Amino acid sequence: MKRRLIFIFVYIVFVCGLVTLAATAYWQIRSSPATSGRTDEESIWLYYYGELKQSGDYDAESSLDDESFDVLLLGASVLEQVANELETRLHERLGGNVRVFNLARSAHTSRDSFLKYKQLTSQQFDVVVMYHGINDTRMNCCPQSEFKDDYTHCYWYRGMKRRVAAGRLSLAGLIQDDMQSLIPLGEPEPESLDLGRTIKTGPAFRANLEGVVHGAKDSAQPVLMMTFAYHVPGNYSRTQFEAGRLDYGPGKHQLPIELWGRPDNVARTIDVHNGIVDELASKNDHVVLVDQHSLMPKDGEHFSDPCHLTEAGVTRFVENMLPAIVDRWESAMQSRQ
């Protein structure tokens, strides 16, 4: 009798969870300002990438014009972290006609930036800034036989691909996506960490960045690419990290490297990705490279965890970027005279 009551209790909790999930998804779709009054295709992209509203392509009030110097940011949490200071410093250096369109979002990979950039074909930015390297490493935490170059072995990308193919959002489809036995966009499952030893993301990472680089060239948009800066002390362990005994300073983000994979695997993969960034910059005349990994000091004054930054780190990171953006601004001003 006791076991039966426990079963009934667990079942009720499970059903309540499904009802809550269904209700939440339903109202997100039905009432979200991101999807109301849009075409089905726009609704799908805005459901996954609500930040596209800030690009000007999905919001007439933000439409771009030749009177402003417009900077597009494509990346993840680190670029998101530095966006405000970058915009402030650009206004100080260049005046009030600068606009920063921050499409960088936490946990996003190079695949997300490529997909977002494809939605901006009608826009003209004065410079496109890209910064990726660590989040893609999570995609390696799966068996080789399951890895997909479009990252659809991860439920986030599989669900997106299905919704785009279907041409509409549906409650049943979103619930089905959440119940797929695929790897997450966030922290890998503990049992999959060792699978990240095999670096599978190189070709996919290259293709995603090339998609932006080639698209920008077709529309005469300069690209600022940056190698990914990271700091893993030689005595790193998760125990030491959580005890606060490592060379990391205070910051908004303080995350262990295991959120991306085993320390050695993550470092080796970022190095591969950085090599690709360097190669693409060297082969494309409209791409400028800022080697953040070499320029950022590897210490707790600048890093609050393996990749996120302290206040001093944010300042140094932005200072590394500024000369390249200012040079582009001067070129843009000359061409408008």
The 10s digit of each residue's pLDDT in 239-285 is: 999 999 999 999 999 999 999 999 999 999 999 999 999 999 999 99
pTM for the structure as a whole:
0.85
Beta-carbon contacts of residue 248 (< 8 Å; ≥ 6 apart): 231, 233, 241, 254, 300, 303, 304, 305
Token digits of residue 292: 């953040």
Strand 127-131 relative to strand 69-75, pairing: parallel
Token digits of residue 187: 């922290």
Tell me the C-alpha to C-alpha distance, in Å, between residue 3 and each of 6, 7, 9, 10, 15: 5, 6, 10, 11, 18
| Residue extents of the structural domains in the chain | 64-141+191-336
Q: Which residue has the tokens 């009934």?
A: 8
Angle at 328 between CA 326 and CA 333, to 5 degrees: 95
- The residues that bridge with 99 in the sheet, in sequence order, are 70
pLDDT truncated to tens, each residue of the chain (337 aa)? 555 544 444 444 444 444 444 444 444 544 454 444 556 888 899 989 999 987 655 554 444 556 789 999 999 999 999 999 999 999 999 988 899 999 999 999 999 999 999 999 878 899 999 999 999 999 999 999 999 999 999 999 999 999 898 887 765 555 555 545 577 888 899 999 999 999 999 999 999 999 999 999 998 999 999 999 999 999 999 999 999 999 999 999 999 999 999 999 999 999 999 999 999 999 999 999 999 999 999 999 999 999 999 999 999 999 999 999 999 888 877 776 6
Beta-carbon contacts of residue 134 (< 8 Å; ≥ 6 apart): 76, 228, 230, 260, 266, 270, 306, 307
Class of domain 64-141+191-336: alpha beta
The whole-angstrom separation of Cα 67 and Cα 171 is: 43
The whole-angstrom separation of Cα 216 and Cα 72 is: 11
The whole-angstrom separation of Cα 37 and Cα 140 is: 38
